[in-house]
């Protein structure tokens, strides 16, 4: 099918995308390390419950953590080996999580799911749930829940925008595994029972656009290169023209947004009978010696990944897990690859600003660029003054934390940090009120 | 691991920020004012240079002294110095005439920086534009001392300037439009007579994406058209009303100051439209040059505009509004 142009959305920002660092390097498979730390909460919702004990022998693809509750996900071992311990670790982004530590025996024995009996909608959803698939774009919301909407949907939107600078893994996957993605999308569309499938890809990935245009049955939309076009609400607007109302979810306008990587995971679970044990991530930034697109086993320590990519350069000042706009900074390298990690970016001093904030000069750049049309400077001043009612009035709860406001602020104010703080306080107040 | 000793910065997202800082913006505004300064010096001679230097230096020194008195150490002041006081100082100097006593620019800058800016909390916290306030301060304080404007030739014009003369008597000025544009034979302040220089600066600011060209143009156009309307729709008034007086410098360099403009696009349209109406109306009513008074008055309205007009979130719907009210 031919490539269609996306609807124009006037608010957003333009960031140097820095994708050149590894846009053309094919995905490399990183061998699993000696020791893996697999977190039991790699998703939104309740942590999984460990079903192995220290000393147990596990195989690759064997379940080690079982979902607990409706919104949760199974966790599988990504290597064969022995469970050393189950311990709580505070990782580099400051989360305290339970980890299952597994020692790799390098035998690579693997267990698979049985073949699917049929490919009906419910069996597909069950398999996706079983395989522990969650939204791999970063949110980590269990995909099976997303595929069982309360009301019927009309459109499946696939997010191939990858608007975060530096990140390349979706782009590489779209080029290298186009067929698998296509199959995955079709299964998911079947599970959702939707007729219309749209895939939105930013214009700066012409090869990916080209690759998808040869398939029949879905619309390929070329999106303007603008951050954050890959945010759910904006992607829906740019591809379908529908606006998700304030405080509503994509399914309220009959859409379901899925990530490229999630589609591949679905394909692997359904056709190859594999659970989710590997992720593809971009290791990039001017602070890393050899930027790469890597396929790593879930649970691989970031330290090993950094070593595999040639180590950090002297000038690294910041390590970011995820993309540089929405990812989390790491205080140290104690972090282990999880389902939702899409990047490890080592920023050098010249790339990231560590300037001190000064007074807001009311330039309104933040408000003019906010893709959600909020008033970030007011939310911030309300939040700093402790007026969380005011912060809510200026739209704090609608903030998608995209960082467009803080990116452009000449006074270098920590807008997103304050807004996040305000959001937490507003939520707290609501809970106490109920 | 080898990099363990390295300090990693740990802070909130986003981790990448645009290189543009407040300081960069303010330095560029200063750069944009350079043509006007040069034109002023060419037209009005060395006295203009002295006045500009005095106002600039006293503005910067006022800021430093104030902060030092507040107990900030010198290094920190230097580190956070953002050149806004340079812009203020230059604008104060550009908007007075060469016949003012030399302590006028010093007093004006001090008033602008200390009273109008620093007392309210420094950069970004001031209610009204410091340069405008400084100019009005000088204008009112020296009203009885300085009653005439100086022509570039050095001869004084008593009483009415070209603009006020035109508005009062209703006779169009005898100057050619080109003279008005270049500032030849035009009495006035150091920086406001040569429109060419000001427009060069304004184009630079637009090219650097520091000001949004739409808003000053709206201001200028509304002022011109409203003057035309007040004078019986005589379009011969249009260009003179724009080119005479301080409208160009006010529109491009004073009214567009970030701190004293509304924070939304819609608010800005209203602000600059009202500003044009007010300027033309006051000019007609008082027979004086009222650009700075109009800007001062409108500055005071900004909190109101910003209270009423805020952006509507993406996906905002009417029903949502109702439910908020119901609560
Ligand atoms: S306020 Fe929120 S949604 Fe708006 S630009 Fe800032 S981070 Fe993005
Ligand atoms: S971008 Fe920064 S300086 Fe400008 S209004 Fe927003 S918070 Fe203030």
Spatial separation of the C-alpha atoms in residues B181 and B160, rounded to whole Å: 19
pLDDT of residue B190: 87
The answer to whether the CB atoms of A406 and B11 lie below 8 A apart is: no
Work out the pLDDT band at A379, boundaries 50, 70, 90: very high
The domain tally of chain B equals 1
Confirm whether A384 is domain-assigned.
Answer: yes
Chain A nearest CA to B194, separation (Å) = 28
A361 → chain B, closest CA residue: B124
Confirm whether B317 is domain-assigned.
Answer: no
Work out the pLDDT band at B318, boundaries 50, 70, 90: low
Contact B192, B249 (CB under 8 A): yes
What is the pLDDT averaged over residues B95-115? 92
Work out the pLDDT band at B66, boundaries 50, 70, 90: very high
Find residues 376-405 of chain A whose CB sits inside 8 Å of chain B.
377-378, 394-395, 398, 401, 403
* Residue B60: both structure tokens together: 């910067």
Protein residue whose Cα sits closest to atom 3 of ligand 2: A360
pLDDT of residue B323: 40
pLDDT of residue B168: 67
Q: Give the phi and the psi of residue A13 in degrees, each rounded to 5.
A: -130, 165
Alpha helices for A156-214 (secondary structure H): 169-176, 178-192, 206-213
Cβ(A361) – ligand 2 distance below 6 Å = yes
What's the pLDDT tens digit per position in B154-179?
677 765 566 776 766 666 666 778 88
Contact B201, B34 (CB under 8 A): yes
Confirm whether B1 is domain-assigned.
Answer: no
Instruction: Indicate if the pLDDT at residue A347 is higher than 50.
Output: yes
Chain A residues with CB under 8 Å of B12 CB are: 329, 414, 416-417, 420
Work out the pLDDT band at B325, boundaries 50, 70, 90: very low
Chain B residues with CB under 8 Å of A343 CB are: none
Q: What is the mean pLDDT of chain A?
A: 89
Confirm whether A130 is domain-assigned.
Answer: no
Collapsed DSSP state (helix, strand, coil) of residue B88: helix
Contact A102, A84 (CB under 8 A): yes
What is the pLDDT averaged over residues B15-32? 91
The lowest-confidence range among A82-86, A217-221, B147-151, B227-231 is B147-151
Work out the pLDDT band at B137, boundaries 50, 70, 90: very high
Confirm whether B157 is domain-assigned.
Answer: yes
Confirm whether A228 is domain-assigned.
Answer: no
pLDDT of residue B124: 87
Confirm whether B17 is domain-assigned.
Answer: no
The complex scores an ipTM of 0.85
pLDDT of residue B315: 80
What is the pLDDT averaged over residues A92-117? 88
Contacts 24+ apart (CB under 8 A), B231-240: B231/B170, B231/B284, B236/B172, B237/B166, B237/B172, B239/B177, B239/B180, B240/B162, B240/B163, B240/B166, B240/B172, B240/B173, B240/B177, B240/B180
pLDDT of residue A1: 60
Confirm whether B10 is domain-assigned.
Answer: no
* Residue in B82, B263, B311 nearest the CB of A373: B311
What is the pLDDT averaged over residues B105-119? 94
What is the pLDDT averaged over residues B279-304? 90
Structural domain that includes position B30: 23-308
Work out the pLDDT band at B146, boundaries 50, 70, 90: confident
pLDDT of residue B3: 46
% chain B with pLDDT above 70:
89
The lowest-confidence range among A208-222, A266-280, A370-384 is A208-222
The answer to whether the CB atoms of A373 and B313 lie below 8 A apart is: yes
Task: Determine contact: A252 vs chain B, CB below 8 A.
Answer: no
Protein residue whose Cα sits closest to atom 6 of ligand 2: A366
CATH code, domain carrying B181: 1.10.3430
Work out the pLDDT band at A246, boundaries 50, 70, 90: confident
The answer to whether the CB atoms of B15 and A416 lie below 8 A apart is: no
- How many CA atoms lie within 13 Å of B180's alpha carbon, on the beta-carbon side? 21
Give every CB contact of residue B254 below 8 A, 6+ residues apart in sequence. B91, B129, B131, B132, B291, B292, B295
% chain A with pLDDT above 70:
99
B308 → chain A, closest CA residue: A394
Task: Determine contact: A263 vs chain B, CB below 8 A.
Answer: no
pLDDT of residue B182: 85
* Residue in A403, A406, A411 nearest the CB of B22: A411
**Residue whose C-alpha is closest to residue A236's, from A99, A248, B94:** A248
DSSP notation for B101-161: -THHHHHHHHIIIIIIIGGGTSTTT-SS-HHHHHHHHHHHHTTTT--EEE-TTS-EEES--
What's the pLDDT tens digit per position in B167-223?
666 666 667 788 888 887 778 888 888 899 999 999 999 999 999 999 999 999 999
The domain tally of chain A equals 1
Instruction: Indicate if the pLDDT at residue B53 is higher than 50.
Output: yes
* Distance from the Cα of residue B180 to its chain's centroid: 20
pLDDT of residue A214: 85
Confirm whether A104 is domain-assigned.
Answer: no
Confirm whether A25 is domain-assigned.
Answer: no
Instruction: Indicate if the pLDDT at residue B106 is higher than 90.
Output: yes
* Residue in B4, B21, B125 nearest the CB of A410: B21
Confirm whether A99 is domain-assigned.
Answer: no
* Residue A266: both structure tokens together: 């679905």
pTM: 0.87
pLDDT of residue A69: 84
Chain A residues with CB under 8 Å of B316 CB are: 245-246, 373
The answer to whether the CB atoms of B311 and A354 lie below 8 A apart is: no
Confirm whether B103 is domain-assigned.
Answer: yes
Protein residue whose Cα sits closest to atom 7 of ligand 2: A377
Instruction: Indicate if the pLDDT at residue B317 is higher than 80.
Output: no
Spatial separation of the C-alpha atoms in residues B146 and A177, rounded to whole Å: 80
Cβ(A36) – ligand 2 distance below 6 Å = no
Spatial separation of the C-alpha atoms in residues A114 and B201, rounded to whole Å: 73
CA of B207 relative to ligand 1 center, distance in Å = 26
Cβ(A413) – ligand 2 distance below 6 Å = yes
The answer to whether the CB atoms of B124 and A359 lie below 8 A apart is: yes
Task: Determine contact: A188 vs chain B, CB below 8 A.
Answer: no
Q: What is the mean pLDDT of chain B?
A: 86
Task: Determine contact: A233 vs chain B, CB below 8 A.
Answer: yes
**Residue A250 DSSP label:** G
Confirm whether B185 is domain-assigned.
Answer: yes
Instruction: Indicate if the pLDDT at residue B319 is higher than 80.
Output: no
pLDDT of residue B158: 62
Instruction: Indicate if the pLDDT at residue A351 is higher than 80.
Output: no
* Residue in B12, B18, B265 nearest the CB of A414: B12
**Residue whose C-alpha is closest to residue B43's, from B195, B138, B172, B151:** B151
Instruction: Indicate if the pLDDT at residue A10 is higher than 90.
Output: no
Locus of tokens 């019986």: B232
What is the pLDDT averaged over residues A81-89? 91
pLDDT of residue B147: 67
Give every CB contact of residue B105 below 8 A, 6+ residues apart in sequence. B51, B52, B54, B55, B58, B92, B93, B96, B138
What is the pLDDT averaged over residues A320-341? 88
What is the pLDDT averaged over residues A19-23? 85
Give every CB contact of residue A33 below 8 A, 6+ residues apart in sequence. A104, A297, A300, A301, A304
Work out the pLDDT band at B89, boundaries 50, 70, 90: very high
Confirm whether A378 is domain-assigned.
Answer: yes
**Residue whose C-alpha is closest to residue A403's, from A17, A8, A44, A12:** A12
Spatial separation of the C-alpha atoms in residues A422 and A76, rounded to whole Å: 36
Work out the pLDDT band at A94, boundaries 50, 70, 90: confident
């Amino acid at each position: 099918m031919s490539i269609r142009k996306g609807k124009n959305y006037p608010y957003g920002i333009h960031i140097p995308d820095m994708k050149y660092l590894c846009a053309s390097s094919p995905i490399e498979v990183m061998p699993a390390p000696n020791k893996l730390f697999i977190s039991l909460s790699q998703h939104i919702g309740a942590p999984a419950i460990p079903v192995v004990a220290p000393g147990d022998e596990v195989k690759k693809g064997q379940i080690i953590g079982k979902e607990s509750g409706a919104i949760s996900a199974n966790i599988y071992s990504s290597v064969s080996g022995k469970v050393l311990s189950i311990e709580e670790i505070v990782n580099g982004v400051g989360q305290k999580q339970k980890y299952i530590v597994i020692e790799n025996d390098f035998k690579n024995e693997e267990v698979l799911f049985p073949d699917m009996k049929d490919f009906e909608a419910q069996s597909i959803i069950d398999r996706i749930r079983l395989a522990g698939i969650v939204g791999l774009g970063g949110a980590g919301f269990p995909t099976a829940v997303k595929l069982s909407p309360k009301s019927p949907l009309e459109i499946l939107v696939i997010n191939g925008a990858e608007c975060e600078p530096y990140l390349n893994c979706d782009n590489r996957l779209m080029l290298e595994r186009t067929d698998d993605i296509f199959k995955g999308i079709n299964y998911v569309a079947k599970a959702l029972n939707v007729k219309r499938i749209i895939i939105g890809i930013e214009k700066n990935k012409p090869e990916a656009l080209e690759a998808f245009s040869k398939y029949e049955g879905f619309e390929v939309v070329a999106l303007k290169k603008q951050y954050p076009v890959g945010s759910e609400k904006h992607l829906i607007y740019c591809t379908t023209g529908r606006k998700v109302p304030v405080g509503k979810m994509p399914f309220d306008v009959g859409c379901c947004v899925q990530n490229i990587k999630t589609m591949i995971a679905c394909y692997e679970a359904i056709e190859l009978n594999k659970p989710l044990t590997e992720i593809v991530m971009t290791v990039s930034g001017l602070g890393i010696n050899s930027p790469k697109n890597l396929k790593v086993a879930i649970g691989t320590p970031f330290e090993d990944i950094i070593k595999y990519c040639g180590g950090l350069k002297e000038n690294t000042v910041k390590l970011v897990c995820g993309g540089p706009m929405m990812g989390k900074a790491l205080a140290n390298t104690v972090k282990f690859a999880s389902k939702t990690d899409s990047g490890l970016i080592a920023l050098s001093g010249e790339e990231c600003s560590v300037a001190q904030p000064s007074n807001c000069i009311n330039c309104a750049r933040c408000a003019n660029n906010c893709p959600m049309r909020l008033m970030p400077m007011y939310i911030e001043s309300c939040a700093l003054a402790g007026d969380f009612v005011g912060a809510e009035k200026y739209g704090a709860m609608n903030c998608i934390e995209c960082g467009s406001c803080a990116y452009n602020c000449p006074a270098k104010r920590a807008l997103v940090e304050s807004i996040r703080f305000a959001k937490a306080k507003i939520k707290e107040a609501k809970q106490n009120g109920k | 691991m080898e990099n363990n000793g390295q300090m990693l910065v740990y802070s909130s997202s986003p981790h990448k920020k645009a290189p543009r800082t407040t300081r960069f913006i303010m330095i560029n505004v200063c750069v944009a004012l350079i043509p006007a300064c040069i034109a002023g010096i060419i037209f009005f001679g060395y006295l203009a240079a002295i006045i500009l230097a005095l106002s600039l230096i006293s503005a910067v020194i006022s800021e430093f002294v104030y902060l030092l008195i507040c107990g900030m150490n010198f290094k920190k002041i230097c580190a956070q110095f953002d050149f806004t006081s340079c812009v203020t100082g230059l604008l104060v100097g550009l908007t007075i005439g060469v016949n003012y006593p030399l302590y006028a620019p010093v007093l004006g800058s001090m008033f602008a920086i200390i009273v109008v800016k620093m007392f309210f909390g420094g950069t970004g916290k001031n209610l009204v534009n410091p340069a405008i306030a400084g100019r009005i301060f000088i204008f009112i304080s020296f009203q009885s001392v300085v009653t005439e404007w100086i022509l570039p030739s050095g001869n004084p014009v008593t009483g009415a300037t070209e603009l006020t003369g035109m508005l009062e008597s209703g006779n169009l000025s005898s100057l050619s439009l080109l003279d008005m544009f270049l500032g030849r034979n035009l009495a006035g302040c150091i920086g406001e007579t040569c429109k060419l220089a000001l427009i060069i600066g304004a184009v630079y600011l637009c090219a650097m994406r520091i000001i949004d060209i739409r808003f000053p143009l709206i201001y200028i156009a509304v002022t011109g058209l409203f003057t035309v309307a007040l004078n019986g729709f005589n379009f011969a008034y249009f260009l003179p009303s724009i080119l005479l007086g301080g409208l160009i410098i006010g529109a491009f360099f004073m009214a567009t100051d970030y701190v004293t403009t509304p924070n939304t696009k819609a608010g800005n349209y209203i602000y600059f439209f009202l500003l044009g109406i007010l300027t033309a109306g006051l000019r007609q009513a008082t027979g004086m040059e009222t650009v700075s008074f109009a800007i001062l008055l409108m500055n005071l309205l900004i909190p109101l505009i910003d209270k009423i007009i805020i952006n509507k979130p993406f996906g905002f719907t009417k029903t949502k509004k109702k439910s908020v009210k119901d609560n």
